[in-house]
Amino acid sequence: MSKVISKSEFKPRALEFLRQVQQTGEAIVITDRGRPVARIEPYSEGDDTVAQLRGLVLRYDDPLEPVGEEDWEVLP
């Protein structure tokens, strides 16, 4: 479970919270008016999100080209 703090609480004690994340390994969620805006979590050398996504996206030669109706599977 992540610890949740407001950004006004985080700002003056940022270094303290960063050290806490480093020592405990527990993530901290920073909120602005009750809505989550950032998450601070320990850095992991082996965490390569891009490698996990590799091969999942189709290749588009011209991403700005309009898509025809026959290309959409969900259209009736």
pTM of this prediction? 0.59
For the chain, the 3-state helix, strand and coil shares in percent, each to the nearest 5, are 35, 20, 45
Residues 9 and 28: their CA atoms lie apart, in Å, by 12
Q: How confident is the model at residue 17 (pLDDT cuts 50, 70, 90)?
A: very high
Q: How confident is the model at residue 23 (pLDDT cuts 50, 70, 90)?
A: very high
Tokens of 2: 């992540």
Q: 26 with 3: CB under 8 angstroms?
A: yes
Q: 18 with 30: CB under 8 angstroms?
A: no
- Domains with residue ranges and CATH for the chain: 3-62 (3.40.1620.10)
